Amino acid sequence: MSTRTKVITGLALLIALWAAAAVPALGEARRVLSARTTATDLAGPAGALVLALETERRIAVAGDSASETAAQRVHTDHARQELATARDAVSGWLSGSDATRQTGALLDRTARLTEIRGQVDGGQLRGVKAADAYTALIDPSGLETPTVFADQAGSRAAALSALSRARELLAEEDALLAAFATQDKITDADRVRLQNLAGARRELLSAAGAELPIAAGTALTAAEGAAGGPAWSTAYNTANTALWEQQTAGVTAAAGAGTNDAVLTVVRAGVVGGVGLIAVLAMLLLAWRSRTGLKRPRRQTSRPAAPARLGGLDPLLRDLERRNQGLVHRQLRLLDTLARREADQDALGDLFRADHLANRVRRNLEKAITLTGGSPARRWHQAVPLAEVVRAAASEISEYDRVSTARLDPVTLAGPAVTDLMHLLAELVENAATFAPAETTVRVAGEHVADGYRITVTDVGPGMTADDLATAARVMAEPEPPTGGTWWGLYAAGRFAARHGIAVTLANGFDGGLVAEVLVPTTLIGPLAGDNETTLDDLEPVIG
């Protein structure tokens, strides 16, 4: 092979390598930017259509006046037309983006509106069935909201979807309550359905890291307890508006942050393209000037730059986690000191609330550390009474006073398993408290069994369907987290358990409610030496 052929071959190879890296990078940058624009254009009309469908559902279910029904239908049709127009304006090559796919699916589903309206008018669809028919138009799978798109919301997409789903569930609850109001009586199955909706809503809200304003939340819980009633519509409207505003604000903020990512992608594409191009040009120049003297193409140094990676952030995040642990630890210590010497009862109540919040922050922090493969900085060498671990677990959830830990056979737990079992139980107790009706008690019991020590967490909630039980078992067994904002609590429980060979199973109890069973291996359990405090209790009081 002549030197000239070698040079040409080398150059051709270089150009091919550069193109291989640059073309996808540029394409990706173009796609990301356009997809974001599309998502922003579609989010407004999609949201408007969903809200219109919810209102129409409410009217159809409650059997409101014909004029109201007609007016709302015109409104819904208008919203649908707006979305269709926006959707058609999207260029063809973006038809695969999340926003176009999700809104396209919503438009396809709502093509059935005429049919459903006919059945509502004809009386074939009434009450709960009518509500369900409309719900199926909004989100048939119960998994994907049609109003939040990954392209727009970026890394916040999962949380914002969960928030949006929570709001949709609230609206569904409103429609069901309206439906029940037209029935002669509310059956147990109806109640279970309402409880499930409310529980799922609370779980999604917590997965979204969102909270209702306190007054709105309290009013809603109270109205929920009364299964509707006059207070419901006010509470519902306040809560619904609050959630909608949170979602809109969240999407706007996420889109702003996401624009930075998009810009980064473009810059990266530019670097890949630019550096590669300069390298190729330099190579050509070099080849031109030393055509004959060139022995071999300098492939090593002129190779196009590989796309940059963000791997360097990891140690930084770890460092922040470590610092946060130190800060929360000191904060809790300070709160403890303050509470011990506070005499004013109101101030003490406030200190306890601050302590509770800080303790929940610590739980999230330690959970994040554990789920990313680390170990929290607070550790135990010595065995610890298991009852204390259980009570600590209960105290890590928001409604800790709903947990009864009275029935535990006295044993100790090996020190290294303390934080993990604590957080594992906190997940299960929280799950139980979330899905069971407010004001009911979650019971934690523990006893020796043949192959270890069995802890059970029992609630009086609606229990789980066979499908959900299967999903739960799968989620707890898998090392990868599920997507979409649901099941994260049980996923975390599975991870905590796996670190110590603890087995967790969920089942429905004999008399309703869910029973979570935690089997702790014998190796982690020890005997609890009798404490002398009980004998002190039996002393005669000093003052009689």
**Nearest residue (CB) to another protein, 358 versus 473:** 358
**Residue 405 binds to another protein (criterion: CB under 8 A):** yes
The stretch near another protein (CB under 8 A) out of 68-76, 124-132, 189-197, 404-412 is 404-412
When asked if residue 373 is in the footprint of another protein (CB under 8 A), the reply is no
Binding residue for another protein (CB under 8 A) from 263, 352, 483, 523? 352
The binding track of 263-292 with respect to another protein, each residue x by CB under 8 A or -, is ------------------------------
Interface with another protein includes 392 (CB under 8 A)?
A: yes
- In angstroms, what is the minimal distance from the CB of 428 to another protein? 17
* Minimum distance from residue 423 beta carbon to another protein (Å): 12
**Residue 233, token pair as written in the block:** 């519509």
Two structure tokens written together for 535: 């004998």
Residue whose CB is less far from another protein, 422 or 492: 422
The CA distance from 361 to 324, in Å, is: 10
Q: How far is the CB of 508 from another protein (least distance, A)?
A: 22
The answer to whether 328 and 334 are in contact (CB under 8 A) is no
Q: What is the CA radius of gyration of the chain?
A: 30
Choose one: 163-171, 204-212, 275-283, 385-393; the region binding another protein (CB under 8 A). 385-393
Part in contact with another protein (CB under 8 A); list of ranges 53-61, 302-310, 387-395, 509-517:
387-395
Report d(CA 416, CA 378) in Å as an integer.
10
Among 342, 409, 468, 517, binds another protein (CB under 8 A): 342
Phi, psi of 183 (to 5 degrees): -85, 165
Contact 433, 502 (CB under 8 A): no
Cα–Cα distances in angstroms (integers) from residue 358 to residues 232, 390, 472, in the given order: 33, 18, 29
Q: Report how many residues bind another protein under the rule CB under 8 A.
A: 58
Round to whole Å and give the CA distance between 223 and 214: 14
Report 312-331 residues binding another protein (CB under 8 A).
315-316, 319, 322-323, 325-326, 329
User: Does position 410 bind another protein by CB under 8 A?
Assistant: no
| 42, two tokens | 């579609």
Nearest to 524 by CA among 329, 325, 339, 386: 386
| Nearer to another protein among residue 185 and residue 340 (C-beta) | 340
Element (H, E) at 535: helix 533-537
If 0-12 CB within 10 Å is exposed, 13-18 middle and 19+ buried, where does residue 396 land? buried
- In the complex with another protein, the residue whose CB is nearer, 96 or 410, is 410
Q: For residues 341, 345, 350 and 352, what is the CA-based torsion angle, rounded to 10 degrees? A: 60
Q: Is 222 in the site for another protein (CB under 8 A)?
A: no
The H or E element that residue 516 is part of is strand 514-520
332 lines the binding site for another protein (CB under 8 A): yes
One-letter amino acid of 532 = N
Give buried/exposed letters for 311-320 (b at 16+ CB in 10 A, else e): eeeeeeeeee
**By rule CB under 8 A, what string of x and - marks binding of each residue 427-446 to another protein?**
--------------x-x---
Residues forming the site for another protein (CB under 8 A) = 315-316, 319, 322-323, 325-326, 329, 332-333, 336, 339-346, 348-349, 352-353, 355-356, 359, 377-382, 384, 387-389, 391-392, 394-395, 400-406, 415, 418, 422, 441, 443, 536-537, 541-544
